[in-house]
Amino acid sequence: MLFGLIAEKAGTDRLELQAGSLGELRGKLAQHINGFEELSHAIAVDRRVTHDDVPLSGEEEIAVLPPFAGG
Amino acid sequence: MNEPRTHKVKDIFVDGAIDPGFVGTSIAKHATRTDIGAHEIFLGQVRADVIEGRAVTAIEYTAYRAMALEQMTAIREEAFAKWPSMTCLHVHHSLGTIHAGELCFMVFASAPHRVQAREAVAWVVDRIKTGLPIFGKEILSDSAHTWKTNK
């Protein structure tokens, strides 16, 4: 799932990508979203922001989040 | 008003702006809780920031609801652990288009004494601003837009 500015840049709020790890997924996101590396973002795996290169089974809920702006 | 301090996930999101009248009604609902001695309320209002000569006319809020509500449940539990005498804590955040001058955020804590309520509200507001996946598209006067980022 993609949100906010990230969804706007990707032109969609949902992408289907195959990746065995979060690191691999980051690489694929960069291929699909122009300028992805320059966009400030965090990735949540099952609703928790995850910075490590964790393995992915394909069952996880993955969300790419631009900077938070609540309040 | 006697909120169960459980793991139950409460929905904080409301569609559209928060009606100022709702704030008054919320206060009135606590009249029967005579152990309360202090209410502290934070209200966020959409500000018409000027960005490169164009004023912000509205903010369109979206959220990753499932994660936001999980985070909010954790913040709520931590707040009651830090301020155990707090009587209740109510949080509301708008989604959708909120125009400049309208209310988009409310944090309302009640406690027997003012210090707990005041400290809890300040802490909860900060935690929500930094920790909840809520996104704000700032609509500018020329219909262009930018994306809000909390500092």
pLDDT at A28: 95
pLDDT at B88: 96
Please indicate, yes or no, if residue B3 is contained in any of the structural domains: no
- The pLDDT tens digits for B62-91 are 999 999 999 999 999 999 999 999 999 999
The C-alpha angle A47, B45, B126, rounded to 5 degrees, equals 45
Q: Is A45 on the interface with B (CB under 8 A)?
A: no
Please indicate, yes or no, if residue B138 is contained in any of the structural domains: yes
User: What percent of chain A clears pLDDT 90, i.e. is strictly above it?
Assistant: 99
Please indicate, yes or no, if residue B2 is contained in any of the structural domains: no
Full-prediction pTM beyond 0.90? yes
Please indicate, yes or no, if residue B37 is contained in any of the structural domains: yes
How close is the nearest chain B Cα to the Cα of A4, in Å?
6
Which among B62, B67, B131 has the least Cβ separation from residue A63?
B67
What CATH number should be reported for the domain holding residue B38? Answer: 3.90.1170.40
Whether B150 sits inside 8 A of A69 (CB atoms) is yes
Domain containing residue B113: 13-148
pLDDT at B5: 52
Please indicate, yes or no, if residue B81 is contained in any of the structural domains: yes
pLDDT at B9: 78
pLDDT at B120: 98
Chain A residue with CA closest to B93: the answer is A71
Question: Which letter, b or e, does each residue of B37-58 get, where b requires 16 or more Cβ atoms within 10 Å of its Cβ?
Answer: eebbebebebeeeeeeebebbb
- The pLDDT tens digits for A28-50 are 999 999 999 999 999 999 999 99
pLDDT at B7: 56
Please indicate, yes or no, if residue B4 is contained in any of the structural domains: no
Averaged pLDDT of chain A: 95
Please indicate, yes or no, if residue B41 is contained in any of the structural domains: yes
Q: Give me the residues paired with residue B111 across strands.
A: B38
Which among A3, A40, A71 has the least Cβ separation from residue B64?
A3
pLDDT at B151: 80
For chain B, 151 residues long, give each residue's pLDDT as a single digit of tens: 455 555 567 899 999 999 999 999 999 999 999 999 999 999 999 999 999 999 999 999 999 999 999 999 999 999 999 999 999 999 999 999 999 999 999 999 999 999 999 999 999 999 999 999 999 999 999 989 999 998 8
Whether B133 sits inside 8 A of A71 (CB atoms) is no
Report the relative pairing of strands B50-51 and B38-45 from DSSP bridges: unpaired
How many Cα atoms are found within 13 Å in the side-chain-facing hemisphere of B62? 15
Whether B136 sits inside 8 A of A70 (CB atoms) is yes
Q: Report the domain count for chain B.
A: 1
ipTM: 0.94
Residues of B in contact with A70 (CB under 8 A): 61, 63, 68, 93, 105, 128-129, 132, 134, 136, 150
Whether B130 sits inside 8 A of A69 (CB atoms) is no
Residues of B in contact with A47 (CB under 8 A): 64, 66-67, 70
Whether A67 sits inside 8 A of B136 (CB atoms) is no
Domains contained in chain A, CATH given: 4-65 (3.10.20.30)
